[in-house]
Structure 1
């Protein structure tokens, strides 16, 4: 009699079960886009570590849990899995040709390396005072008491901070009022093809106009702009950079690369918004965070790397927001050849996904996974480190997010400044995810009542 292991070996792996409830043509699109985390949690609870679900024109093999995430995220590019086939048709209309997944792998790696000088320790020494200053400037005109929408505020702050740190103050001041609006258009332009399939063309003209408006502003302002404390124009450095085979960036391509930097602020704004929402839904944490700030910072603003790293409890709250509301619930790749992943067969051409959203809510990995519990990251417990690939809100494996530290420090500064300046309260504590964005920010209106604190 043939054993199960022998059958798996001969066939190249077991067939992955298909989630039930698929509809003709649209598959599982309705339950997935209504609640991707809940849908996949239910599917994996029924079918196990791997399950196939269907979207219009696409068949996706979802792997859930640290073991499945590790197997997917560690797949070898070009020979096993390819991100380009997934993201090029989605992102090129938004970010422009010649950058990101629209170029060969070695060129994309070189383009990513052009961001690294802005992510070094010496660069953060320059960035952090700029970040804190931008938040202080943003709230300077607020009265003694009032309200603000937390989603709108984070959408305003995140791109403004990115612009001042990575381009310069002139660009930040000039584009400050319109930059959040343009980035929201690009984010909206990502949602339709994600739902209907990347070959959907209706969004290309609209997002193309938005992208070119941004590119024109970058080409006009950025060459003569430089961040405070820097002697060089980041845009000028892009034009002088030399890559593989003597390749260089022309002005248009450099502008498109800067747009990719700015667009990363959209996910940061979502993460920052959920951090604030979760804190205000659990106000027992506010005295803990204020006491930590008084101990670490005293009367000084949060402007040094050493002081921000000592704000550990605030950092744990940022991690818990990443766990409960990752900006991207699934991380897909295309199988370049027939694969056998953890004993399951994934045929060539099929999409295979790691799943931050459902994986972050597994009770075998995180204790009381539906509970907001920043203590789970304390020394001695550290549930995010107990199992490799347990927390993957910023990706992992071969392709972790280059800007994760920048984003986390930015979020810590935003909420450090706000918590020191105001007493804050959610007007309506129940907050749901918005369904009209792939990044699932809090649904608006998400109103916060504030009262200025006496320092």
Structure 2
């Protein structure tokens, strides 16, 4: 076990913590100045539980223990974390530093916060961290999806899957999604709950692009099954209780497995250009290919990954465009310049202002706010002892607000990603909405193309507005979702 000298990390971590603490104090007004419900929220967020050590470091190791707290009896810090999301993470960072532990989901979970701690886990030089952490949360619903595989097996599956995400394949996917996006947005009411409208639209795109399946009763059943599987992963009651999210997720998984198994022979025999067909025919130069079971598992996982993250990102970007009309007009001008044709990948690459907005939205609202790992042997992070078997959570959403990497991190400022600034280059893991290391999202280019194509269609046809005093609140029960669905008004351009 490699040991990093404590003196080498204390200065870096301490500086980051001090800066984060300053930001938090500036953002949090005195409790007496807040309306009652918000004052209660602040008190809940600042609730202090008795702290203690995760485990005693080996004698003579020179390592420090990981400090943290178990939270409230029975539920731990689970509900607080779900309610406050990033704000909760920043509070923990201020209180305990970049390595801490918390009680949640009936477990003690080590949390790694900040770019340096993140790098240790995601680069994983000593292979001390496995994807077993994800399996704890979602294996029953996304069994053997790419994100849940480890080491050599993961590399082999990723190598095969890469054949479904070549530039030519991406161009085909983009071409097929254009009409679905335009028709879907044209059918929206003038004052939709934007998150739910976008969720249905991205599900329609996923069923069309990934499965060549038109929207009908069967597609709606498939969509409901995916939603049930996603929500089940963070269920507090992790048993198939009638009416519970866990049971709904298990039933949803059965629906998905049955659908893909019934349609797989035709995809194997055909020459379609959808993702399902691509996975059936993907083959490396060495002849490696997926079994039928592999294809089913990967399709279930990719459908979830493709539509949920795009929904969250496009919702957040649309919200910030509504709050910052000067950026909305700048983005619209670029989109209108493309004309009426559905944009191809080259045209989407040219929407530079929109890409800046999307990157900033990904920073402010990371669609996957936490990445799960398990320590497969005793190890250390920034001089802290982490014993074998520890469940570990990496917090990219908190990294996105680290003042040691970002100027005025709570401000919407897309120009921070422009070439003359590139604050995202301040650290390899300062900005990581697609994860990092060997498990970096294989579909990140597809996701950017889809989000661009969607927002392009929206801004070229509508002006997005929200009331001047409106502020969105994100619910972190599973992935970030606006509590009220984000009501907006769409004015035809």
- Per the normalisation by structure 2, the TM-score is 0.79
Q: Which residue of structure 1 aligns with residue 196 of structure 2?
A: 152
Q: Deviations over 1:311-334 (max 9, x none)?
A: 111111111111111122221211
Match of 2:130 in 1: 82
**What is the aligned partner in structure 2 of residue 409 from structure 1?**
449
Unpaired runs of 5+ residues, structure 1, are: none
How far the C-alpha of 1:302 sits from its partner, in A, is 4.9
Quickly say closer, same or farther: Cα 1:221–1:99, change in 2 above 3 A. same
8 A contact 1:72–1:353 mirrored in 2: no
Distance 2:139 2:455 in 1: 33
- 1:139 aligns with 185
**How many Å apart are 1:73 and its aligned residue?**
1.0
Contact 1:93 1:204 in 2 (8 A): no
Partner of 1:127: 173
1:137-167 alpha-carbon deviations (Å, 9 max, x no partner): 213335xx72222111221122222222222
Superposed displacement of residue 258, structure 1: 1.3
1:308 and 1:103 mapped to 2: Cα distance?
32
**Structure 2 counterpart of 1:45:** 94
Cα distance in 1 for partners of 2:407, 2:320 equals 18
Instruction: State whether residues 175 and 344 of structure 2, in contact with CA within 8 Å, keep that contact through their aligned partners in structure 1.
Output: yes
Answer whether contact 1:163 1:171 (CA < 8 A) is retained. Answer: yes
Match runs of 1:12-411 below 5 Å? 12-19=62-69, 22-76=71-125, 79-83=127-131, 85-96=132-143, 99-100=145-146, 105-142=151-188, 146-168=190-212, 170=213, 175-192=218-235, 195=236, 200=239, 202=241, 203-221=245-263, 223-224=265-266, 231=272, 235=276, 238-239=279-280, 251=292, 253-264=294-305, 265-295=307-337, 297=338, 299-411=339-451
The count of corresponding residues between Structure 1 and Structure 2 is: 435
C-alpha distance in 1, partners of 2:263/2:485? 34
Structure 2 SS opposite 1:423: strand
The alpha-carbon deviation at position 403 of structure 1 amounts to: 0.9
Say if 1:338 and 1:12 are closer, same or farther in 2 by CA, change over 3 A.
farther
Shift of 1:22: 2.3
Instruction: Check the 8 A contact 1:118/1:166 in 2, yes or no.
Output: no
1:451 is matched with 491
SS in 2 for 1:18: strand
Secondary structure at the aligned position of 1:361 is classed as: coil
**For the residues of structure 1 that align with 2:325 and 2:360, how far apart are their CA atoms?**
15
Query: For the structure 1 residues 430 and 159, does the alpha-carbon distance in structure 2 shift closer, same or farther, using more than 3 Å as the test?
Result: same
CA drift at 1:24: 3.2
Distance 1:27 1:235, change over 3 A: closer
Q: Is the CA contact 1:223–1:233 (under 8 Å) kept in the aligned structure 2?
A: no
Give the SS at the match of 1:147. coil
Question: Which stretch shifts more, 269-278 or 426-435?
Answer: 426-435
The answer (yes or no) to whether the contact 1:8–1:14 under 8 Å persists in 2 is no
- The 1:104/1:317 distance shift into structure 2, 3 A limit, reads closer
Judging changes above 3 Å, is the alpha-carbon distance between structure 1 residues 12 and 134 closer, same or farther for their aligned structure 2 residues? farther
Distance 1:247 1:308, change over 3 A: closer
- Match in the other structure for 2:16: none
**TM-score for the superposition, normalised by structure 1:** 0.85
**Aligned residues of 1:224 and 1:233 also touching (Cα < 8 A):** no
